[in-house]
Amino acid sequence: MAVESNPPATTSAPVAEGSLLGRGVALLTPVFAIAAGWIAGVVAHLVPGANLDQTQIVAFMIAVSTSALTAAWKWLQGWQQHESLVAQGLAPPRKQAPTPKKATS
Amino acid sequence: MNALAAAPGDVLAVWDGDGPGAELIRLGALLEGKPAVANHVVIVTHQDQVGRWMGIQGQPGGVGPVDCTPYLSDARTRSNNAQPRLDDHAQLATFLASAAKSLGIAYDWVAIGENALQALHVQDLSKEIDPLWRWPSDHNLLPGHVVCSSLAAMLYDLPAVGWAHPDLGEERQCAPADWWQWSNAQSWG
C-alpha cells in the first residue's frame, strides 16, 4: 500500500496523546446509538400531527440510530487524525501520555 | 530527508493509510486505551543493492517482503532501533534466518478475532477460541499463522533470540499499538 507524503521523521522526544476521550467515545458509541433511537421513537410519538404507524416509527428510529453511529464514526476518524498530528509533533496532546511500565525481561 | 536510522532486526510500528481496515485496527487500539496511531508493523531485515531498507511483514496474503523506505521517513513511525539487542550467540543471524523462514506463513484470522474480543473486553470468549489454532508450544517452532505485530513478537521471543518485546507471554495478541507504545516510550530501558 502506498504511503502518502508526510513530514519527515525525527528523533526528537516522543510524544503521544494520553487523553482517554477517544476511548470514552468509542466505548459509549453503542449507548449513543441506542439512546438516539429511543429518543427518536419518543419524539415520533409526541410530535402532534405526525401520525406515524409502527413500521414508520421503527424506520425513523433506525435512521436516527444510523445517523448517530455515522457521527460517532466520523468523530473517531477525526480523533485518529488528531493522534496522528500529535505523533508528528504538529499538534499538542490534550494530555501527555504517562510512561508505561518498563519491560521485565 | 531526515529518515529514521535503521538496522536489521528493527521493528517499525507504522501508520499505513486511512482505509476502513486500518481505521478499524486503530479503533480497536482506542477501545483498549492504547495510542491510535499505528495499524501495521514491519520488520527490517536488510538493505537491497540500491541501499533501500527492506523487511518482512505479516499480511492477509501471507508473510511477504516490504520496502521500508516510506515508513522510515514518516514522522508517525516509531522504531526500536535504539533498543539494545544481544548478539553474543548469533541471535541476529538466528532472527534473520527465522524471518526468512517465516515468508509465506498464513494470516492469523483467529488472532484477529481474539484481538477483537479482547478490545470488547470479552476475554473469556477470546480464550475459548484460542485452542482452535493454538500456536506451537515446543521451543523454536514457528507458528502456522501470524499477523504483522505477532510475527515480530514471535521472532523476538524465540528462545534462540530472546530479545525484550511487548506482550511478553502473550505474543499472539501483540498489536501494532503495543509496538508503537513500546518504541515511543522506549520501554526496553
Give residue ranges of A with CB < 8 Å to any B CB.
1-4, 6-11, 14, 16-17, 20, 22-23, 26-27, 76-77, 79-80, 83-84, 87-89, 97, 99-105
> Contacts of residue B78 in chain A, CB cutoff 8 Å?
14, 87
Cross-chain residue pair A83–B36, CB shorter than 8 Å: yes
Domain-embedded: residue B188: no
pLDDT tens for A27-84 read 999 999 999 999 999 998 888 888 888 899 999 999 999 999 999 999 999 999 999 9
Domain-embedded: residue B2: no
Q: Kindly give the residue spans of alpha helices, DSSP state H, lying in chain A.
A: 21-46, 54-87
- Predicted TM-score (pTM) of this structure: 0.85
Q: What is the dihedral of CA A11, A23, B117, B170, to 10 degrees?
A: 30
**Domain range spanning residue B148?**
11-183
pLDDT at A104: 46
**A57 or B131, greater pLDDT:** A57
Distance from CA of A60 to the nearest CA of B (A): 27
Domain-embedded: residue B60: yes
CB atoms within 10 A of CB B84: 10
pLDDT tens for B16-37 read 989 999 999 999 999 998 999 9
Q: Of the ranges A39-43, B10-14, B55-59, B130-134, which one carries the lowest mean pLDDT score?
A: B130-134
pLDDT at B138: 63
Count of domains observed in chain B? 1
- 3-state secondary structure (DSSP) of residue B117: helix
Domain ranges of chain A: 25-87
Grid cell 468509542 — which residue? A26
Cross-chain residue pair A9–B165, CB shorter than 8 Å: no
pLDDT tier at B139 (50, 70, 90 boundaries)? Answer: low
Quote the cell numbers at residue B76: 508517525
Say how many CA atoms lie within 13 Å of B161 toward its Cβ.
25
> Contacts of residue A8 in chain B, CB cutoff 8 Å?
1-3, 73, 75
